[in-house]
Amino acid sequence: MAHFLRTYGTLLGMVLLVGFFWISLPDTFMTARNWLNISQQVSMLAVVAAVMTVVMVMGDFDLSVGSMASLAGVVAAVMFVQGFGIAAGVAAALAVGLLGGLVNGLLVSLIGILPFVATLATLTMYSGLAFVISGGKTIFGRDIPQGFADFARGGIALGGDKPLVLPYLTLTALAVVALVWLLLEQTSYGRRLYAIGGNMEAARLAGVRVTWLRLTAFGFTGVGAAVAGLMYAARVASANPTQGAGLMLSAIAAVFLGMTMAENGQPRVLASLAGVVVLGVMDNGLTQMQVDSYVREVLVGLIILLAVSISALGRRAVTGR
């Protein structure tokens, strides 16, 4: 029983949350349209949370994902301003993401700086670079190609009375989550990352190439952050050197929420996705209920604390200390 609640307590909380909004907003909340909306709203956060899970599996952190997202968006936009096409802009942004991620990996794995410190430093660096490249201005309007912005508006028509659309942004997020799931849960690469998180020295002595794996995992996270930055830029049809800043804390919050529903409190990507959905549903439901936006933030923080506390108490009840 205790085991069941520890594992599924947060999931049950999610069901209660959804049930509450369903009852409070009988006509509008539990509709396909609203859920498609939520899926699109959280798509960027889902991508960042998924790739954040990759490094958190190793017991590491990447605080630079938010500023990397901003930087990637700005890089793409500046490429567009210079007259390059969509493909070139996207490729440049992804390359910057990979490079920035590898720099993080290098600092953490080869030089041996604590991830918290290393990525805190690169957070400021990448954010500064975004300001330098954009000149501190928001790039928008005719500079952003129509096709780029249209991607975030479009989707696959699902039919129905009032035509429903499965947004491309949602599909992109699902693709990234699926990719991370495959990587972490189905490949030897992922298993080795979990081993590093489980016991780094034991993993090294068992023949795991710890340095190389940490380096590449951070590279992966950098690319993911860039993907999220591009999605964001497409959604707002503009790029601004600070627009991704909010993603980092929300992503970490989502992974932590997810960890409360995974066995032994380990980061799992599908659990992180569930954490993202909780945050998205809270935002959506509370906005519809006209709860003040500042009160909303307090409530979101409370929910995170509640879930993590329950999980900690549950673990204490099991181990008896």
Partner 1 sequence: MALQFTRRAAIMAAGFAALSASMAVAQGEKVALITPYLAQPGTQFYVEAFQARAAELGWEVNVIDTAGDVAAVIARMEDVTTQGVSAIVINVDPAQVGAGLAAAAAANIPVIGMDAGTDPLVRANVTSNGYAMAAETAVYVANRIAGAGNVVMFTFDAFPPVQVRGVVADAVFANFPDIKVLDRITPNVDDGGIADSRAKMEAILAANPEPGSIKAVWAAWDQPALGALQAIEAAGRGGEGIVITGIDANPQARDAIAAGGNFEASVAQDFAGIGRTTADTVARVLAGEVLRQNVVYVPTVLITAANVKDAK
Partner 2 sequence: MPQLSLSGLVKTYGAARALDGAGLVLRGGEVHALMGENGAGKSTLIRILAGLERADAGEILLDGRVLTLGSPAAAEAAGLRFLHQELQVVPGLSVAENMHLARDYPTRFGLVDWRALHLAAEAALQRLGVGHIGARVPMARLGPGDQMLVRIAATLLQGSGPAPWLYVLDEPTAALTGAEAARLFTAIARLKAAGAGVLYVSHRMDEVLALADRVTVLRDGAHTSTEARADTDQARLIHAMTGRELSDMYPARQTAALGPVLLSVRGLAAAGLASLDLDLRAGEVVGLAGLAGSGRNAALKALIGAVARRGRVELAGAALAVTPAGTWAQGLAYVPRERRAEGVMLLRALAETVSLPHLGALSRLGFLDRRAERGAVAARGAEVRLKARGPGQPVGQLSGGNQQKVLFARALLGRPKVLLLDEPTRGVDVGAKFDIYSLIRGLSAQGVAVLIASSDLPELIGLCDRIAVLHGGVHTQTLAAEGLTEAELLARCYESPTR
- The residue with tokens 């009032």 is 162
What's the closest the beta carbon of residue 276 comes to partner 1, in angstroms?
13
What's the closest the beta carbon of residue 121 comes to partner 2, in angstroms?
26
- Binding partner selected for residue 208 from partner 2, partner 1, none, CB under the kind-specific 5 to 8 Å limit: partner 2
- Binding partner selected for residue 31 from partner 2, partner 1, none, CB under the kind-specific 5 to 8 Å limit: partner 1
- Binding partner selected for residue 242 from partner 1, partner 2, none, CB under the kind-specific 5 to 8 Å limit: partner 1
**Which range touches partner 1 (CB under 8 A), out of 101-109, 193-201, 252-260, 309-317?**
309-317
| Binding positions for partner 2, rule: CB under 8 A | 182, 186-189, 191-192, 194-195, 198-199, 201-209, 264-266
Those residues whose C-beta lies under 8 Å from the C-beta of residue 95, and which sit 6 or more positions away, are none
Nearer to partner 1, 167 or 267 (CB): 167
Is 244 within 8 Å of 66 (Cβ atoms)? yes
| Bridge partner residues of 165 (DSSP) | 157
- Binding partner selected for residue 262 from partner 1, partner 2, none, CB under the kind-specific 5 to 8 Å limit: none
Structure-block tokens of residue 76:
């793409």
**Which range touches partner 1 (CB under 8 A), out of 59-67, 92-100, 182-190, 286-294?**
286-294
* 20 touching partner 1, by CB under 8 A: yes
The only residue of 27, 87, 111, 161 in contact with partner 1, by rule CB under 8 A:
27
Amino acid present at 206: A
CA distances from 44 to 59, 151, 231, 243 (A): 23, 14, 6, 12
Nearer to partner 1, 216 or 311 (CB): 311
- Binding partner selected for residue 194 from partner 1, partner 2, none, CB under the kind-specific 5 to 8 Å limit: partner 2
Structure-block tokens of residue 235:
């959604």
Rounded to the nearest 10 degrees, what angle do helices 168-181 and 32-41 cross at? 60
Is 187 within 8 Å of 197 (Cβ atoms)? no
| Bridge partner residues of 157 (DSSP) | 165
- Binding partner selected for residue 205 from partner 2, partner 1, none, CB under the kind-specific 5 to 8 Å limit: partner 2
What whole-number distance in Å separates Cα of residue 171 and Cα of residue 35? Answer: 14
Backbone φ and ψ of 165, nearest 5° = -130, 130
What's the closest the beta carbon of residue 186 comes to partner 2, in angstroms?
5
Nearer to partner 1, 20 or 189 (CB): 20
Is 75 within 8 Å of 90 (Cβ atoms)? no
- Binding partner selected for residue 298 from partner 2, partner 1, none, CB under the kind-specific 5 to 8 Å limit: none
Going residue by residue from 212 to 231, which x/- string records binding to partner 1, judged by CB under 8 A? --------------------
Those residues whose C-beta lies under 8 Å from the C-beta of residue 259, and which sit 6 or more positions away, are 265, 266, 267, 268, 271, 311
What whole-number distance in Å separates Cα of residue 128 and Cα of residue 72? Answer: 13
Q: Is the dihedral of CA 26, 32, 33, 38 positive or negative?
A: positive
User: Interface residues with partner 1 (CB under 8 A)?
Assistant: 1-2, 5-6, 9, 12-13, 16-17, 20, 24-25, 27-29, 31, 33-34, 37, 40-41, 44, 138, 140-141, 149, 152-153, 232, 235-238, 240, 242-243, 245-246, 283-284, 287-294, 299, 302, 306, 310, 313-314, 317
